[in-house]
A and B are shown apart, each in its own frame.
Chain A
């Protein structure tokens, strides 16, 4: 049974390939892997590179993926392609950046609150001054 399997290549932004395939070659982390139907379940990371797809009654097709994950089930193969350039250090740097931005924003918010408070006090003071002047006018 089964001379084809269902292949899905998806990225977070779009579906890149979806359909039957007889055979694919993907650039796995430990070297290229070729997958025929009824392959043992496998999970692996893939590097950026070309995925060669042989669809039934069609010529070989090549799809570029910029890294991601590959899941193999006997009759379903899924490639989860990354849209961003990944790396432990890169991710770490991004996280740090996001954190710093949040801290800065909190600080700015504080100064904004201070500013709002000062402004409120100022408005109150000017209102008081105006009221005093009015009273004086009436007094005279």
Chain B
């Protein structure tokens, strides 16, 4: 049996761990609220730009953007993997990376090549180990998704797509369902599916006949800009969701860890008291035995 001092030390160390996990839980809880706010605030942009894209798809535009054209043969697949930078958030990253791995295996079996764009440290490390070629990456985003930082990484993927080095692009991230539940999802980014360019159904009644926009300065650059921004908005939204998921997953994980530490402390305290009791009993009986012998 362990000595009472050993047990006391053990209890102390578990208590220290519990302090840390509890602090992390509280930090995550406060960050979670902010992350959720940001996620909600990012929604209108996505909605509006989708409406614009929907309008555009109805207009008799003379220029059709490559993002909208479906490609028959798919040889190379691009994946944008959104993960967190830090760990200690339960199975969040593992879930999304497992999803990626499953899909990637399927593609590889069909002889498709895969290239990845990694947003977040965990995904980058994983893709590096899995031997997937990473064409762009961004890590260290902090607590707020930053459009400025995302642009570069996304542009590499978009350029690869326009230059036909990629035929399809998917994005993987954790969708925030609620505080207790986040689900890993895969969405097709390119070519844009009908689902992604379906507007809210608000249509101008005046303009039933074929119509087109007035473009300033020209159709092509303006449409290009809109399309790029649309994809960026989708990625931004995914990152915002993933960040909210990360904080809530961390909060839940840290709460579980604190609870477990509490249980462990209870058990250890029980053992500690038992050994203490046993030591006292032993001492007493020795004294009594000694007195009887005298």
Contacts and interface: CB of A to CB of B under 8 A. Distances in A.
B45 A73 contact: no
Interface residues of B, number: 53
Contact of B52 (A15, A80, A91): A80
A104 to B, nearest CB: 9
Interface string A51-86: 000000000000000000101011110101011111
Question: Interface residues of A toward B: which range?
Answer: 35 or more
A41 B151 contact: no
A102 B136 contact: yes
A114 B197 CA distance: 46
Contacts of B159: 95
Contacts of A69: 52, 222, 225-226, 229
Classify the secondary structure of A's interface with B.
mixed
Contacts of A96: 152
Contacts of B153: 95, 98
A11 interface: yes
Contacts of B290: none
Contacts, number: 149
A132 interface: no
B204 A105 contact: no
A16 B133 CA distance: 39
Given A74-B204, A99-B135, A102-B137, A42 B217 contact: no
Interface in B126-143: 128-129, 133-139
Nearest to A11: B45
Nearest to B55: A73
Contact of B202 (A11, A76, A99): A76
A45 B225 contact: yes
B214 A42 contact: yes
B55 to A, nearest CB: 6
B256 interface: no
A112 B59 CA distance: 53
Given A11-B45, A69-B225, A106-B133, A44 B147 contact: no
Interface string A1-28: 0000000101111110010000000001
B82 interface: no
Interface of A: 8, 10-15, 18, 28-30, 38, 40-45, 69, 71, 73-76, 78, 80, 82-86, 91-99, 101-102, 105-106, 109, 112-113
8 contacts: A8-B44, A12-B236, A38-B206, A44-B214, A74-B207, A95-B155, A99-B136, A102-B134
